[in-house]
Amino acid sequence: MSAPLLLIPGLMCDERLFAHQAAALAGGAEVICARLDGPPSIEGLARMLLDRHPGPLRLAGLSMGGIVAMEMVRQAPERIERLALLDTNHHADLPERLPIRNQQIDDARNGRLAAVIVEEMRPAYFAAANADKQPLLELVLDMATALGPALFERQSIALRDRRDQTETLRSYSGPTLVLCGAEDRLCPPRRHEEMARLLPRSELVVVEQAGHLTTIEQPGAVSSALAHWLVR
């Protein structure tokens, strides 16, 4: 029997981020949507998911989910049969991000989580063609507010304090999909080209008319790329 496919969402996102992919891939795999509801470190979140889902795994993570997936590979490479990294970043957080992260945490603590999402994050999430699509905007806000400010703080600390995963990628030998939106401003295509060069068995896919949240901006294209990766 094939290893389960674990879909790992990004910052303040839940299973709705992968709704299309989970439905499209369910016929050929056991699909599980993870929850990043654990400790405030990437290492701790990776250990939590490895403990929650024993045995071999196939991983697909978007943004923060990709960062957690890389850490799972670092901790237990023998358990990860395949890896898909979507709109993510293998480097540590930049020093100039520290005051931004800390201000966002303070704002969320003080009841301004929705404002952080709307004013600071949403403008960077979508491609130009999708920036004013109300259902997408409402989904991002609904996911974040449902998860709440306490989780936002823990996830933000985990991202702020994460390690570089360059050597993890260089040493991973499983089939890997590296995918991003052509208009991803948070994790641009050049960063994904760098990751693809590090990985010995990678395929790079750049999705047009998509920004940082490719799974909901161009769901069919992402599902097709994942389906191809699963049988490579």
Record the tokens describing residue 136, joined without a space.
């997408």
> Quick check: is 102 in a domain?
no
> Quick check: is 216 in a domain?
yes
pLDDT, tens digit, for every residue of 101-147?
999 999 999 999 999 988 877 778 999 999 889 999 999 999 999 99
- DSSP E strands in 150-218: the ranges are 176-181, 202-207
Contacting residues for 23 by C-beta, under 8 A, at least 6 apart: none
Whether 178 contacts 228, CB under 8 Å: no
Contacting residues for 87 by C-beta, under 8 A, at least 6 apart: 10, 62, 63, 66, 179, 180, 181, 184, 186, 187, 212, 213, 214
Residue 209 Rama label (left phi>0; alpha psi -120 to 50; beta): left
How many domains are contained in the chain? 1
Which contacts of 66-70 are long-range, i.e. CB under 8 A and separated by 24 or more positions? 66/8, 66/10, 67/42, 67/159, 67/162, 67/165, 68/8, 68/36, 68/42, 69/8, 70/165, 70/168, 70/169
> Quick check: is 39 in a domain?
yes
Rounded Cα distance between 92 and 85, Å, is: 16
User: 90 is in which domain, residue-wise?
Assistant: 5-94+156-231
Q: What is the pLDDT of residue 1?
A: 61
pLDDT, tens digit, for every residue of 166-177?
999 999 999 999
Over 70: is that where the pLDDT of 192 sits? Answer: yes
Q: State pTM to two decimals.
A: 0.96
Q: Name 33's bridge partners.
A: 7
> Quick check: is 104 in a domain?
no
pLDDT, tens digit, for every residue of 8-47?
999 999 999 999 999 999 987 799 999 999 999 999 999 9
> Quick check: is 114 in a domain?
no
Whether 82 contacts 59, CB under 8 Å: yes
> Quick check: is 134 in a domain?
no
Residue 175, SS3?
Answer: coil
Which amino acid is located at 193 in the chain? E
> Quick check: is 146 in a domain?
no
> What's 211's domain CATH number?
3.40.50.1820
Rounded Cα distance between 45 and 11, Å, is: 13
Record the tokens describing residue 179, joined without a space.
């995918």
Over 70: is that where the pLDDT of 83 sits? Answer: yes
Rounded Cα distance between 47 and 36, Å, is: 11
> Quick check: is 137 in a domain?
no
Record the tokens describing residue 147, joined without a space.
């998860």
